[in-house]
Chains A and B, each alone.
Chain A
Amino acid sequence: MKVSIDPITRLEGHGKIDIFLDDKGNVDRAYMQVPELRGFEMFCVGRKAEDMPIITARICGVCPEAHHMAAAKALDMAFHAEPPEPAKKLRELLYNAYIFYDHCLHLYYLGGIDVLLGDVSKEQRNIVGLIKKFGVEIGKEVIKHRRYAMEIIKMLGGREIHPVSAIPGGVSKGLNEEERREVESKAKECIEFAKKSMEIFKKVFESKRWNELLGLDSLQTYYMGLVDSNNYVNYYDGDIRIVAPDGKEVAKIKPEKILNYIEEHVEKWSYVKFPYLKEIGWKGLVDGKESGVYRVGSLARLNVADGMNSKEAMKEFEEFRKEGIVHETFAYYHARLIEMLNAAERMHALALDDQITSDDLCTMPAEAGEGIGVVEAARGVLIHHYELDEKGLVKKANMIVATTNNNAAINMSVANAARKVIKGGNVNDILLNKIESAFRCYDPCLACASHALGSTPMIANIYWKGKLYKRLEKNV
C-alpha cells in the first residue's frame, strides 16, 4: 500500500511524499519527491556574466538574496575583482536582513505553525489560525518586523524581492546617513522581536509535546557550514567547515575547494540529486559515520561552529550546544531562532560600522575567467560556479543549492517520522501532517532544489500490496 501527500504544503516549491506500507500496514519505505525542474544550468549558458545575479535570483523568490549573492561572489572571483571592504559590509548587511526575514517567514507562516499550533485541523494550520490563537497583535508584530527587514533589503538592493545591487566587484548602491539611521533603528526593534520570538517558542520547547516532536527523528550525520576566522557562524562569507557526527572537524576549506569534497548521486525517482561527501562515499539513505550523507542549514551551522558573532545570540548558542552536537531534526527550529536573533544583532552592528556609509563601492572587473561563490542560504550552503569566455559570457554554470544538500537527510527524516506515526494502516490528516512536519524542519525550498528543471507543492500516496491505497491529501 502506498500513501501520498500531494501537494506537500507550507513550503517553497513543489513536492510530494510517497509512503509504502507492508502487509501489516506499517511503513516499509517513504520518499519525498520533487516533481519539477527548470533547467537553469542550461539556459544560463550564453548569457552575459553580469546578468547572473539577476537571472539566478529567479531560482527562488523566497531566498533570491542568497542566489544573488552567491552569483555576485562567483563573479568577483571570475573577474578578479575583490570588492572593497565597505561593499562587502553592505552586502553582508543586506544578507543579514534576508536571514532575518526568511527565518521569520518560516517560524510564523510555514513550518513554525506545526510547533506553535500543534495537532489542529488543516483549516487552522496557517498564519490566519496562528493569529486566531495568539491574537492579532502578535500577527501584526510578525508582519511589521518582516516588513522592516524587507524594507532594508529594498533600500540596499533596490527591490524587496529579487534585489539587483550586487554586481561583479561590489555593489551599485551605498547608504546615506539618513538611511543608515533608519537601518539602525529598525535593526534595534528586530533584536527585541527576535528575543520575544525566542520566548514564545521556548514555552513550547519546555512542553511534553516538544519531547514527542524531538523523538520523531534524529540523524547521526555529518554537518557542513560556513564559519568566520573565529569559527563563529557566518552567513555571507568565510571557510567551509565539515564536522563528523561526533563533532570532530573533518575539514576546513576555502569555499572554492568545496567541489573537491562533494559528489552528487542520481536516483531514478527524483528530479533532485543527492549530494554526499566524496571521501566517505554514497551508502544509500542511511546515517552514521560510514555514510557520506551530510546536513546543512541552521542546525548544521550551529553544529559546525564554536559560537556566534553577537552577544545575545552567543548566550543562546552556549545553552543550545551545552551537551555537544545536536542531532534531533526538530532542533532546527531552536537553531533558527538563535540565528534570527544573531542576524538582527549583526544588522545593528553593521549599521554602526564606520565604513557603512562609504562610497567606495566597487572594484572594476578585469579579465574574465572562472569563479565559485558560496554563501549560507537560510536553509544551508549554496554554491554557484561559472566559467566565462573571454567576452564575459557564461560558458558553463552549475549551482548546488541548500535543499539539494539536504535531500538525502530529508528523505530519511520523512521515512523515520512515517515509521513512528503510521501503524496498522491507520492514517489521518493529523498523522500525515506530523510526517510533513519532519521535512518542514529543514525549511526546504523545492523551488531552489528544482532549479535544474521546474517547481510546486507536495503530495502523498500510500501504496499497499502494490496498489494505490490512499492518496494523501490528508482527508483519508
Chain B
Amino acid sequence: MEGKEMKKIAMYWGAGCGGCDVSLLSLHEKILDLLEEAEIVFWPCAMDFKYEDLEKMKDGSIDIAFYNGAIRTEENEEIAKLLRKKSKILVAYGSCATEGCVIGLANLYSREEIFDTVYLKNETTKNEDGIIPSSNDLHLPEFLPHLKTLEQVVKVDAFIPGCPPPKPVLENALEALLQGKTEFGKSVALCDECPRKDSKPEKIEINKFYRWHEKEDNGDCFLAQGIICMGPATRAGCEAECISANIPCTGCMGAVPKVREQGISMLSALASILGDMDEEKEKEIIESLQDVVGTFYKYATAKLLPEGRLKDES
C-alpha cells in the first residue's frame, strides 16, 4: 500500500438484473483486499454518488470502469458514453454487457410488440384507455428499438464473461486489470473442467434429443444421455457449477475465445458426435431440437442480431 497510488474504479449497471453488482460484493472478504488497492468513485447500487458527480470528473480520470447490463434505453446509452469519456479502461462486465444475455432475446420482437404485450394484452392489467407510458412533465428515457451490447455503442477494452462472472473468473480478471492487462481467462471449452468429462462420448446413437426434465439423470455426460449441454461450445472458467448441481450447461460464459458464434460451434459439435445418418432420422432428430434460438443463443442473441430481426418487416 505504501507509496502506491490507489486505482480509481467505477461500477455502473445498464439494463441488467443487478447480479453483476452482487457478484462484486460476493468476493466476500476479498472485497476488503480490493479496497486496499482501489477506491470506488461511482457505484449507484452501493454508494450515493449521482450522475452529476460523474459528469464533474475529469476525462480519463477513472482508471477502470466496469459497465454491467446491456443498453436498452437512451439513458443506458448516455451513461455508457459518459463512462467511456471518463475512463482509461472500460470493461464490459458480465454477459449482458458482453453479448446481451437472456434479455437480448427481446431482439426477436419489435418494441411495439413488447409494449402491447406488457401494457395492453396483459391479463391482470386494467387499461381501458390504452395508456402506453411515455413522457409528460416527468421525463422517461426512450426505450430503444432493440437491445445493444456495450461494444455496439462504445469502444470496449476488456470483457469479463459469465452471468454473472463466476468467482474464479472475476478474481482472475480483477488481478489482471489492476496490473493493466486487458486479456485474461481460459481459452478452452467447459468440457475441459467438467466433473462428467470421462463419460463424454465420441459418438452417440440416439433417435431424438431429450429435454432435461424428461429423463432421469444417470450421472453421465449429458450429451451421452441425449440431452443438450452447451459445454463443448462454452468458455471454461466457472468450474462447471451448474453441472455440479446436475443441470446441463446453458452457455452463460459465451463462446470459447476466437470462436465467433457459440450456436454454430455447438451445432457443429453435435453434428460431429451424431455422425452420419439417413435423411429421415436426421429430420427426426432436428425436429426434436425445440426452441433453437433459445437453446443455442440463450445469452448471445443481441450479439448475433444487433439490429433485431426487424429488417424484413420494415
Q: Which residues does chain A contribute within 8 Å of B113, judged by CB atoms?
A: 42
CB proximity of A243 to chain B, nearest CB, Å: 21
Known A-B contacts A60-B18, A269-B138; A14 and B290 likewise in contact (beta carbons under 8 Å): no
B138:A18 contact, CB within 8 angstroms: yes
A43:B247 contact, CB within 8 angstroms: no
CB proximity of A249 to chain B, nearest CB, Å: 23
Query: Which of A46, A58, A172 has the largest number of chain B CB atoms within 10 A?
Result: A58
**B9-17, B175-183, B261-269, B276-284: which lies at the A interface?**
B9-17
Residue on A nearest B127 in the bound complex, by CB: A266
Q: Mark B98-120, 1 if CB is under 8 A from A, else 0.
A: 00011101101100011001110
B19:A162 contact, CB within 8 angstroms: yes
Taken together as a complex, chains A and B put the C-alpha atoms of A385 and B137 apart, in Å, by 34
Known A-B contacts A42-B109, A48-B294, A165-B247; A33 and B123 likewise in contact (beta carbons under 8 Å): no
Interface residues on chain A, number (Cβ under 8 Å): 110
CB proximity of B12 to chain A, nearest CB, Å: 8
Choose among A36, A50, A62 the residue that contacts B211 (Cβ–Cβ < 8 A): A50
**A204-212, A349-357, A446-454: which lies at the B interface?**
A446-454
Q: Mark A437-476, 1 if CB is under 8 A from B, else 0.
A: 0000000010100001111110101010000000111110
Taken together as a complex, chains A and B put the C-alpha atoms of A303 and B295 apart, in Å, by 43
Is the C-beta of A259 less than 8 angstroms from some C-beta in chain B? yes
Choose among A139, A165, A365, A475 the residue that contacts B214 (Cβ–Cβ < 8 A): A365
Taken together as a complex, chains A and B put the C-alpha atoms of A462 and B132 apart, in Å, by 24
Q: Which residues does chain A contribute within 8 Å of B16, judged by CB atoms?
A: 61, 447, 455
**B45-53, B82-90, B196-204: which lies at the A interface?**
B45-53
Is the C-beta of B311 less than 8 angstroms from some C-beta in chain A? no
CB proximity of A440 to chain B, nearest CB, Å: 11
**A3-11, A187-195, A332-340: which lies at the B interface?**
A3-11
Taken together as a complex, chains A and B put the C-alpha atoms of A230 and B53 apart, in Å, by 51
**CB within 8 Å of A: which B14-31 residues:** 14-23, 25-26, 28-29, 31
Q: Interface size for chain B: under 10, 10 to 19, 20 to 34, or 35 or more residues?
A: 35 or more
Q: Which residues does chain A contribute within 8 Å of B117, judged by CB atoms?
A: 39, 41-42
Known A-B contacts A61-B164, A64-B17, A474-B48; A161 and B28 likewise in contact (beta carbons under 8 Å): no
Taken together as a complex, chains A and B put the C-alpha atoms of A457 and B48 apart, in Å, by 10
Q: Which residues does chain A contribute within 8 Å of B214, judged by CB atoms?
A: 365
Choose among A43, A49, A61, A125 the residue that contacts B105 (Cβ–Cβ < 8 A): A43
Q: Which residues does chain B contribute within 8 Å of A18, judged by CB atoms?
A: 138
Residue on B nearest A45 in the bound complex, by CB: B117
B102:A433 contact, CB within 8 angstroms: no
A-B contact count (CB 8 A): 292
CB proximity of A200 to chain B, nearest CB, Å: 20
**B58-66, B184-192, B237-245: which lies at the A interface?**
B237-245
CB proximity of B133 to chain A, nearest CB, Å: 5
Q: Mark B266-299, 1 if CB is under 8 A from A, else 0.
A: 0000000000000000000000001100110010
Q: Which residues does chain B contribute within 8 Å of A164, judged by CB atoms?
A: 242, 245, 247
A158:B244 contact, CB within 8 angstroms: yes
Query: Which of B35, B72, B127, B138 has the largest number of chain A CB atoms within 10 A?
Result: B138
Is the C-beta of B44 less than 8 angstroms from some C-beta in chain A? yes
A268:B52 contact, CB within 8 angstroms: no
Taken together as a complex, chains A and B put the C-alpha atoms of A453 and B106 apart, in Å, by 9
Taken together as a complex, chains A and B put the C-alpha atoms of A236 and B169 apart, in Å, by 32
CB proximity of A274 to chain B, nearest CB, Å: 10
Q: Which residues does chain B contribute within 8 Å of A473, judged by CB atoms?
A: 50-53
B118:A37 contact, CB within 8 angstroms: yes
Is the C-beta of A47 less than 8 angstroms from some C-beta in chain B? yes
A-B contact list, 6 entries, CB within 8 Å: A37-B72, A48-B291, A51-B291, A159-B245, A364-B216, A365-B214
Cβ-closest 4 pairs across A and B: A61-B19, A158-B245, A473-B50, A473-B52
